[in-house]
Amino acid sequence: MQTLREFTRKTKRGNILKIVREHYLRDDIGCGSELCRNCFQNEVYQLTSQHEIQCSLFKFPHYIVVDTNVVLDQIDVLEEDVLRNVIVLTTVLNEVKHKSSSIYKRFNELVHDRTRHFYVFVNEHHKDTYADREPDETANDRNDRAIRIATKWYDDHIRASQSSKDLERTGKTATRVILLTDDAGNRAKAEADGILVASAAEYVKSLEDFPLLMDKLSHKSFDSEKQALPQYPPHLSMKELLEGLRQKKLLQGAFQASRENYLEGSVNVESFEKGILIQGREALNRAVDGDLVAVELLPESEWSAPSEIVLEENNVYADDVPSEERAEQEKDMLQQVQAASAASAEERSPTGRIVGIVRRKWRQYCGILQPSLIEDTSRHIFVPADRKIPRIRIETRQAAKLQNQRIIVTIDTWPRNSRYPHGHFVRSLGPLGDMATENEVILLEHDVPHCKFSEEVLSFLPKMPWTIKAEDYAKRVDLRDLYICSVDPPGCTDIDDALHCRQLPNGNLEVGVHIADVSHFIRPGNALDKEAAARGTTVYLVGKRIDMVPELLSSNLCSLVGGVERFAFSCVWEVDHDANVISKRFHKSVIKSKRAMTYEEAQVLIDDPADQGEIAKSLRNLNKLAKILKKRRMDNGALVLASPEIRFQVDSETHEPLEVEAKQMRETNSMVEEFMLLANITVAEHIAAEFTECAVLRRHPRPPPTNFDPLVKAARYQGYQVDIESGLELAHSLDKCVKEDNPYFNTMIRILTTRCMMQAVYFISGSLQKEEYFHYGLAAPIYTHFTSPIRRYSDIMVHRLLAASIGADSTYAQLLERKSNEELCHNLNYRHKMAQYAGRASVALNTHLFFRGKEEDEEGYVLFVRKNALQVLIPKYGLEGTLYLKSDKDGKDGLERTKAQIIFTFNEEDHTQRCGNFVFHSFDPVTVRLSLDSSNVQHEKLVFRLVKPYIKGFSVEPKAGADDKESQAPPPTKKSKKDKKKK
């Protein structure tokens, strides 16, 4: 049977186009119930009578039909293993897919979980449940009507399928079908049609055996706030927002909340170099970090500047109501912020107020419950771990159990009359401070996909035992006889790359970089490929790795382990002894690495003149060539940057850090790096020439001159001139920043330089001009990533392009689509940035664990001087922290000090801090005491206290039991005017 669907559409030219579509209806679509003997049933997914739920609202067996809003708002309830026998109408499934891809993905997993008995009924193609759209009926009203028609049909159909005699004989009650909808209008119409109907909240509250399920209900409002006065201005309607944006009266951008000041934030707008400043609760107007917002720019006379003060919100409890006293306190705080801003009027920036939300970017948030002052209350305040996120009001009946637990909460809504957004409890992660729990928090807060690989993804892995077949050898170059070896960090199991170097008969050298051929195992477009693309990169935490691809590939079939035959993608050069490239070639190969070494083992081999084996000779030649290549890059203006990096020795059982030290760099690190760079540049040149519009490349933009201001000033006050006109001049300037009495000075200058850099990003060749391809840090006109396909999806894309260009693999449509590749690059840039942040957060967590219960005095250097603090670097541990010079009234540095006589004065001209006769400059040596402040259980921090130079009343006393030499040393001498004089 078929029906016709007709609708009209207006074309760009203004013509009216009538569209007629044939819509086929069937009478053989099964209902999915095991009670029915009339329909053809799919036995895999079936509604069953085995899981009856005790419900005080419907005291009989029943199946559930959910409408679209219930799925969108109550997905956390549906995911709990309580509700079963749920009928999913295709009308609902399609609406959810259209409105939220993330919830659709979660709901789809439920549908495919056979144990949950979620049955998809194709109501849009069933002859008895199809609803044609009526004249003047909105799409939403038509969908609601279709859901009611399907529910009514189901209920009648299931009742007709049950014999009254059988029910009487067994004493059972007839199974019915009920509709759950949170739309009051839809409920009223359903009741009028004789349908059993309830709201999601009513139904969940009636499940007497599962009282805690109520915690997961999405709350749009709380009873205590329904009569409360508005605390925020109203948001403009979407129609008003679009009109304002079109007329350019409003500006659109992503909102970024301040981490230090809860009354401040900014909105990044394309037409403004700096973000638009937002100050005050009313101006912030319920925006949450990440939201896409509309901003109204204030008159220039009302512009302000970032306050640069730390302002944390005082505790507000769940049952508090708005008061005049709190409003006055907030007014005073805002005046503090604006007063701090007014002090730097010349630095004023565009200031505005948020008038509407274009798109919310809410997610699930990790944090803790704030203890309540009232016993036996269900209303609580959730404090997120991320300081940028406001506190969230939730209802939970298990607060006592959740104290000292990390929990996850999601935001449901933020009404005008509520100080905080409303949300609901999702789940508990585990005890506060537990290593596994804290790692989970890091991964969730940095949006790192870390769930187990699905069965669908794993189904595309090779079947074990896997062996190389004869046809594979025929298609590849056989390099198993070459002396190929890999050099990696200790404990590395995902070995991406291997090297070889051998003498050619003509006297030249052949150098090969062999990269794991991951693209052979991950074919375009399958579930494994999509999962790898979504993850984007492998994430490395301390003692833990979250793989981009399943372990069978990352640590086994793709990893170039020693003594095992593996598929590789080889880049081979012929070079002379001065490292000049004579020729190059690319091919897929089969290799057998002769040895997998650590950097230290390779270094020992190179340095041992007695070892004249083939691998040792290969490594020495590679090392010699690498030094030439590095010097050539340096001469071209490549930068040698530095960052403080820490390495932890981790307990294999507890996973807690036993020892912490700065990472050691050897010649072999540089050797491997140089050939990886050469391979990446060589491949970039090749694919950019072959695919001018769709090559995946990586660029490092030149930083704007203002980025270098802290570096230039810090160097100038040390008597050094840093030239930033070009990368070459900057590199030469950095080389000259050397102090004989401070061997660490040059490293600190390079660390400061790293802070001035822009983020390197992936892009598609056709989207930019060739002069914009430049990689500033490497001084390379073109660059890409080819050498780590096990841990970077960008490299897989590059492998596919290279393979297609040499005929080693076939091309496919998406590979050459610029738009889809640009979207992939955007995701890769985001994932790469989040992976870096997650790695740093893991280092910070382990540093805190290491210093828990310890106090250590360590030598360090002032990295740079702030208005109220010194940023201090500890070379021994490769870590840095803040030594606060002024304590605010709340004692936020966690220390009890009497500072009546201690006054620090900041000099903006030469960036120094003076206290009496002591002057602190950047790069001055200091001794500090390190300890952990655990007063805030959610935000532990490493505290730096000054030991030397000794300032009475401010510095802490040297530790008892210090060595004799130190105890006999004279007290610190005051600096003379001659010492303080600058060059």
Predicted pLDDT at 980: 36
Which of 182, 216, 250 is the last residue before a domain boundary?
216
Give the C-alpha separation, 810 to 495, whole Å.
Answer: 26
Domain count, the chain: 5
638 has pLDDT over 90: no
* Residue 968 CB burial class (10 angstroms; 0-12, 13-18, ≥19): exposed
86 in a domain, yes or no?
A: yes
Give the C-alpha separation, 118 to 334, whole Å.
Answer: 52
Same domain for 175 and 248, yes or no, is: no
877 has pLDDT over 70: yes
Query: Residue 412: which of 352, 458, 367, 365 has the closest Cα?
Result: 365
Q: What are phi and psi of 850, to 5 degrees?
A: -65, -40
Q: CA 68, 108, 394, 365 torsion: positive or negative?
A: negative
Query: Residue 673: which of 615, 633, 732, 613 has the closest Cα?
Result: 633
Same domain for 675 and 823, yes or no, is: yes
The enclosing domain of 31 has a CATH number of: 3.40.50.1010
The enclosing domain of 915 has a CATH number of: 2.40.50.140
Same domain for 665 and 734, yes or no, is: no
424 in a domain, yes or no?
A: no
* Residue 878 CB burial class (10 angstroms; 0-12, 13-18, ≥19): buried
384 in a domain, yes or no?
A: no
- Residue 403's alpha-carbon distances to 366, 398, 602, 641, 937, in angstroms, are 14, 9, 51, 45, 12
332 in a domain, yes or no?
A: no
Same domain for 742 and 622, yes or no, is: no
898 has pLDDT over 60: no
Give the residue, 295 or 742, on which the prediction is more confident.
295
Q: CA 348, 349, 350, 351 torsion: positive or negative?
A: negative
329 in a domain, yes or no?
A: no
Same domain for 499 and 564, yes or no, is: yes
Of 591-605, 650-664, 799-813, 933-947, give the lowest mean pLDDT range.
Answer: 650-664
Q: What DSSP element (H or E) covers 730?
A: helix 727-736
pLDDT band at 365 (very low <50, low <70, confident <90, very high): very high
650 in a domain, yes or no?
A: yes
CB 414 within 8 A of CB 354: no
Residue 505 in tokens:
């008969």
Predicted pLDDT at 690: 93
115 has pLDDT over 80: yes
Predicted pLDDT at 972: 37
Question: Using alpha carbons only, how large is the chain's radius of gyration in Å?
Answer: 33
DSSP 771: G
CB 662 within 8 A of CB 876: yes
Same domain for 659 and 803, yes or no, is: yes
Same domain for 153 and 281, yes or no, is: no
The sheet with strand 912-915 has its strands ordered as: 905-907, 912-915, 918-920
Q: What is the three-class DSSP state of 429?
A: strand
Q: What's the mean per-residue pLDDT of the chain?
A: 84
Q: What is the three-class DSSP state of 967?
A: helix
Same domain for 869 and 815, yes or no, is: no
The pLDDT tens digits of the residues spanning 262-282 come to 888 999 988 887 789 999 889
Predicted pLDDT at 261: 82
Same domain for 146 and 193, yes or no, is: yes
Q: What DSSP element (H or E) covers 880?
A: strand 879-884
The pLDDT tens digits of the residues spanning 47-98 come to 887 777 888 899 889 999 999 999 999 999 999 888 989 999 999 999 999 9
Give the C-alpha separation, 930 to 946, whole Å.
Answer: 9
DSSP 863: E
Which of 184, 216, 248 is the last residue before a domain boundary?
216
121 has pLDDT over 70: yes
Same domain for 158 and 283, yes or no, is: no
Give the residue, 72 or 339, on which the prediction is more confident.
72
Query: Residue 518: which of 545, 497, 535, 487 has the closest Cα?
Result: 497
Q: What DSSP element (H or E) covers 186?
A: helix 184-192
Q: What is the three-class DSSP state of 828?
A: helix
383 in a domain, yes or no?
A: no
Of 120-129, 771-780, 860-869, give the lowest mean pLDDT range.
Answer: 860-869
Average of per-residue pLDDT across 768-791? 93
How far, in whole angstroms, is CA 475 from its chain's centroid? Answer: 40
Which of 838, 866, 882 is the last residue before a domain boundary?
838
Q: What are phi and psi of 278, to 5 degrees?
A: -125, 125
Query: Residue 303: which of 284, 280, 277 has the closest Cα?
Result: 277
| Contact residues for 131 (Cβ-Cβ < 8 A; gap 6+) | 142, 145, 146, 149
Taking the whole predicted model, whether its pTM rises above 0.85 is answered as: no
Predicted pLDDT at 5: 62
Q: What is the three-class DSSP state of 650?
A: strand
Q: What are phi and psi of 917, to 5 degrees?
A: -95, 0
Predicted pLDDT at 432: 87
Give the C-alpha separation, 951 to 954, whole Å.
Answer: 5
Of 321-325, 404-408, 541-545, 568-572, give the lowest mean pLDDT range.
Answer: 321-325
The pLDDT tens digits of the residues spanning 646-702 come to 565 555 555 555 555 556 677 888 899 999 999 999 999 999 999 999 999 999 999
Give the C-alpha separation, 164 to 144, whole Å.
Answer: 32
Q: What DSSP element (H or E) covers 574?
A: strand 565-575
Q: What are phi and psi of 162, to 5 degrees?
A: -105, 125
Average of per-residue pLDDT across 558-586? 94
Angle between helices 139-161 and 90-99 (to 10 degrees): 150
The enclosing domain of 283 has a CATH number of: 2.40.50.690
Q: What are phi and psi of 465, to 5 degrees?
A: -75, 135
Q: Which domain holds residue 808?
A: 455-697+765-838
The pLDDT tens digits of the residues spanning 207-253 come to 988 888 888 888 766 555 556 678 899 999 999 999 999 998 999 99
Q: What are phi and psi of 705, to 5 degrees?
A: -55, -35
261 in a domain, yes or no?
A: yes
Give the C-alpha separation, 461 to 527, whole Å.
Answer: 10
Same domain for 489 and 629, yes or no, is: yes
The pLDDT tens digits of the residues spanning 414-428 come to 998 888 999 999 999
Same domain for 684 and 626, yes or no, is: yes
Average of per-residue pLDDT across 445-470? 91
Residue 548 in tokens:
């981009």
